[in-house]
Structure 1
Amino acid sequence: MRESVHLAFDLGASSGRAVIGRFDGSRMEMQEVHRWGTPIEVEEERLYWDLDAVWSSMQEGLAIALEKAPDLCSLSVDSWGVDYVPMDSAMQPLRRAHAYRDPRSALGEALAWQRIAREDLYGMTGVASHPINTLFQVLADEQMTPHSYSATCCRLLIADYMNWRFCDRPVAEASLASTTQLLSANSRSWSVEAMQALQIDPVTWPRVVPSGTVLGPVPDNPNLAVIASCSHDTACAVAAIPADEGSSWAFLSSGTWSLLGAEISTPICTPVAMEAGFTNEVGYGGTIRFLKNLTGLWVLQECERVWREAGMNFDYTGLLDEASRAEPPAFTIDFNDPKFATPGNMPQRIAAWCREHGEPVVNERGDIVRLILESLAEASRATLESLSTLLGRRFDCLHVVGGGSRNRLLNQWTADRCGVTVIAGPSEATALGNLLIQARAMNRLPVDSSIREVSANSVQTETFQPNQSGGP
């Protein structure tokens, strides 16, 4: 089979990158060719993404990719969920895209519960309610910027917006659309029933398309196809998990956020699932990612920022070394508490939490890092236990993917607390999933090979057995 070359744009809330994938018929070889920071703008207490700057960086990435691989045959963009660009009737942006940590959505959430009961909405969409959800952002628009709200003719989520800029075809890819809390998990289409109850016009949303849809060529490069792979980064990552389909496995996408769940065929939209905080998001092939969204390494990232601003010199490896020498904490913190959700002095917030709960204040840097990592591991344990109860099955292993899978301490402490084998990697699962879905859409994968089989051929993983560290 002739080699095929694809390009993944993986957009994250802190950085973005362009990754070339060369598929030789059995494995995908990846090469990062460009990386950039994701700029966020603060204006009158509002938070915005500078998507024009991101687009400029993507154009640079495309130019570099074409120089390295003139035979590039496809590209696709994935991103975080929930945020969007409102477009007018001429398909021009009405404003910059708000960042999900902008507290404005609290207004929208309050309005939503005046119009619909929480349990009714969950039954329609299967999505857990979080203040950052698209639904609440849209209702905040209605109250705070009514003129642009009434002028909105189409809303494009971030990756779909970038795919549109490449090929001028506006769509809502199913995995990304499912983060809005406006998609029916059962039909995998917009929930008109939910929108009518919430007084949101259904015509302001583009057509939903399945993962792996070929959107069309780049206008000035007709040999380069634009693919809606999985526009949601977590969906790409889960698609690329090199799991043994014969085993009972759960997944943890570990990064700024931790998303822990299992892949199922039919959504679970029961009151019990809602109370447990689980959500039903669409995955590749029409599957459902039944998962819970947890605070991840965001807390540690904020600590690092505060320490660096205070003039401390350290690197990430050094931080983990300090944590490995620290004593195990006698308690853990639930970092899903809203007080840890916004940017700020996280070490001070942790100290304040300790005082409020009668626990000894943790001051040393290594102790703080260990407390954070052990707390994340404990959150994974509790969530895995809840997931097992809801699905009525035990899990043989937990596949950890994403940037956090490189954190060997966190992997080991997660295995210790969860009492299951942890298989870490690939750390670049999102880009790999994006590339493999493109290859499948372009008919380059052998028909008798699954994406997960090719992923397993393409990456190395590391296994962590429980209680090897003498932890809990």
Structure 2
Amino acid sequence: MSNYSLAVDIGASSGRLILGHLANGKLNLDEIHRFENKIVKKNEHFCWDIEALFQEIKTGIKKCNELGIKPDSIGIDTWAVDYVLLDEHDNLLTDAVAYRDPRTDGMMEEVFKIIPKEKLYFETGIQFQKFNTIYQLYALKQTSPEVLQKAKSFLMIPEYFNFLLTGKKANEYTNATSTQLVNAFTKKWDHELLDKLGINKEMFHEILPPKTVLGTLSKELVEEFGFDMKVVLPATHDTGSAVISVPEVEDSIYISSGTWSLIGVENRFPICVPQALKYNFTNEGGIDYRYRFLKNIMGLWMIQEVKRNYHDQYSFAELVKLAENEQQFQSIVNVDDDRFLKPDNMVDEIQKYCQETKQPIPQTPGQIAKCVYDSLAESYKRAINEIEEIFEKNFPRINVIGGGCQNEMLNQMIANVTNKEVCAGPIEATAIGNIVAQYMALGEIHTIQEARTTIKDSFEVKIYKNQYVRG
């Protein structure tokens, strides 16, 4: 075998195809193709352009062939919760409506009238967010019930791409759990919940675990690309793939830092208890049926929007530098307030929040950026304190993974406010987790422990410690 595997990793703002090559116990990465991803307005909704995204996937695969490389396998991961519905002829019944679309406003409360909040949590273990798939589907039921009745296939975004590659339809475990429709203990679709909500349960497919070989490319695509590959299910939820890359899991908390910040620990069983419900923690599925006990916090989306509001005249690095020059300025916003989910203008919304809470109002780009980073660090600290309270133990280390781990100022802020050692890296955590799951499916790596050792030996991690500790 060539030991090449191809990871398709698509986030909320960009996508990439990264080629992994395993040699002498080390994993090497090469970025083959990178492209933009953004929400577009379509049929009065905010949607993802899945047709364009699939064309980008195909472009990246063709680039491999141009380089003379024919990967053994390919795996796709994306963000969670969003989906499409197909009819009996496998035609799209719905657009890929994005989680930031306001159609789910008020839907949580409507669902709670049918299924009590506590029952929903204790059965699924999933964090309450107004954009969870359960509320998206219920919103669709209110506006277009006939579409739900016609639907023969429910596929989440990476599952739809897998269908386009192979012609095979299946739901994958880690992403399925994010819907808030999977029973945390049986790991299957919760038909009781679906029946109570009047949602067509026949459209859901068998839930398959990561490391499953779904199939090979369709005949048409083999002819188009000039070679065949196995299509493997990694953890198709990007955070599920990213957590595989955490180099140290014992006695450590991870922060998967990107457009969203996912803060939590890996666990062997779901924690569906009142205290976890009170703090709104989730129990999403992970590889080998592990659980990602975490909280989903607004992440670098805020600074991405700030950059856009300033017409991209500052790079992310320049915004960090400007923030570093505003050390005396401090105002804190609640990053999880719904007002920051998709505001017309993020800068204006931050200023309004500070005015309403009688804090200093940030005026300059540096002050706005400093406010965002301070607010993120404080939200991380609060979530970490809640984790330690639930587990009744101290976690001395934080592993920051993903693209956000390159923000040295934020890493240092986290170390300072939590008084914990912060280990930053690897950067391409999601793609790495995707690739090693493929290697496990192909028998090149045998266990998650072996995978993590390989990752630790292959990629550097930078250490940050509290600068204000004496002695």
TM-score range, shorter chain: over 0.9
Decide which of 299, 302, 305 is 2:302's aligned counterpart.
299
Superposed displacement of residue 111, structure 1: 2.7
For 1:225, the aligned partner's letter is K
For 1:91, the aligned partner's letter is D
The equivalent residue for 1:209 is 208
- Counterpart CA distance in 2 for 1:468 and 1:212 is 44
Superposed displacement of residue 290, structure 1: 0.2
1:242 partnered with 2:247: yes
- The correspondence of residues 123-272 of structure 1 with structure 2, limited to 5 A, is 123-220=122-219, 221=222, 223-243=228-248, 245=249, 247-272=250-275
Secondary structure at 2:193's aligned position in 1?
Answer: helix
Superposed displacement of residue 39, structure 1: 4.0
Secondary structure at 1:190's aligned position in 2?
Answer: coil
Superposed displacement of residue 54, structure 1: 0.6
Superposed displacement of residue 66, structure 1: 2.6
Check the 8 A contact 2:307/2:315 in 1, yes or no.
no
For 1:204, the aligned partner's letter is M
Secondary structure at 1:18's aligned position in 2?
Answer: strand
Superposed displacement of residue 174, structure 1: 0.5
- Counterpart CA distance in 1 for 2:2 and 2:153 is 38
Question: After the TM superposition, which of the residue ranges 289-298 and 35-44 deviates more from structure 2?
Answer: 35-44
Secondary structure at 1:32's aligned position in 2?
Answer: strand
Superposed displacement of residue 253, structure 1: 0.6
For 2:230, the aligned partner's letter is A
Q: Which deviations, in whole Å up to 9, do the C-alpha atoms of 1:310-337 show, x marking residues without a partner?
A: xxx3222221111111124444211111
Structure 2 unaligned runs (5+)?
none
Superposed displacement of residue 50, structure 1: 1.0
The equivalent residue for 2:428 is 428
For 2:303, the aligned partner's letter is L
- Counterpart CA distance in 1 for 2:379 and 2:38 is 30
The equivalent residue for 2:402 is 402
Superposed displacement of residue 459, structure 1: 0.7
Identity fraction in percent:
31
Secondary structure at 2:109's aligned position in 1?
Answer: helix
Check the 8 A contact 1:25/1:445 in 2, yes or no.
no
Check the 8 A contact 1:115/1:198 in 2, yes or no.
yes
1:453 partnered with 2:453: yes
Superposed displacement of residue 43, structure 1: 3.3
Q: Which deviations, in whole Å up to 9, do the C-alpha atoms of 1:361-402 show, x marking residues without a partner?
A: 110211111111011001000000000111122102000011
Give the 3 Å change call, closer, same or farther, for CA 80–6 of structure 1 in structure 2: same
Give the 3 Å change call, closer, same or farther, for CA 148–363 of structure 1 in structure 2: same
For 1:36, the aligned partner's letter is F
Secondary structure at 2:31's aligned position in 1?
Answer: strand
Superposed displacement of residue 21, structure 1: 0.6
Superposed displacement of residue 156, structure 1: 0.3
The equivalent residue for 2:59 is 60
The equivalent residue for 1:47 is 46
Check the 8 A contact 1:89/1:153 in 2, yes or no.
yes
Q: Which deviations, in whole Å up to 9, do the C-alpha atoms of 1:77-107 show, x marking residues without a partner?
A: 0000000011111222112110110000125
Superposed displacement of residue 5, structure 1: 0.3
Superposed displacement of residue 25, structure 1: 4.3
Check the 8 A contact 1:328/1:370 in 2, yes or no.
no
Question: After the TM superposition, which of the residue ranges 25-34 and 226-235 deviates more from structure 2?
Answer: 25-34
Check the 8 A contact 1:160/1:172 in 2, yes or no.
yes
Check the 8 A contact 2:331/2:374 in 1, yes or no.
no
Check the 8 A contact 1:123/1:270 in 2, yes or no.
yes
Structure 1 unaligned runs (5+)?
none
Check the 8 A contact 1:10/1:16 in 2, yes or no.
yes
Superposed displacement of residue 169, structure 1: 1.4
Question: After the TM superposition, which of the residue ranges 328-337 and 112-121 deviates more from structure 2?
Answer: 328-337
Q: Give the alignment's TM-score, normalised by structure 1.
A: 0.95
- Counterpart CA distance in 1 for 2:212 and 2:270 is 22
The equivalent residue for 2:327 is 327
Q: Which deviations, in whole Å up to 9, do the C-alpha atoms of 1:30-54 show, x marking residues without a partner?
A: 1111111124321354111110111
- Counterpart CA distance in 1 for 2:259 and 2:28 is 26
- Counterpart CA distance in 2 for 1:420 and 1:63 is 45
* Count of paired positions: 464
Q: Give the alignment's TM-score, normalised by structure 2.
A: 0.95
Decide which of 274, 278, 283 is 1:280's aligned counterpart.
283
Q: Which deviations, in whole Å up to 9, do the C-alpha atoms of 1:103-129 show, x marking residues without a partner?
A: 001253233122110101001100011
Superposed displacement of residue 449, structure 1: 5.9
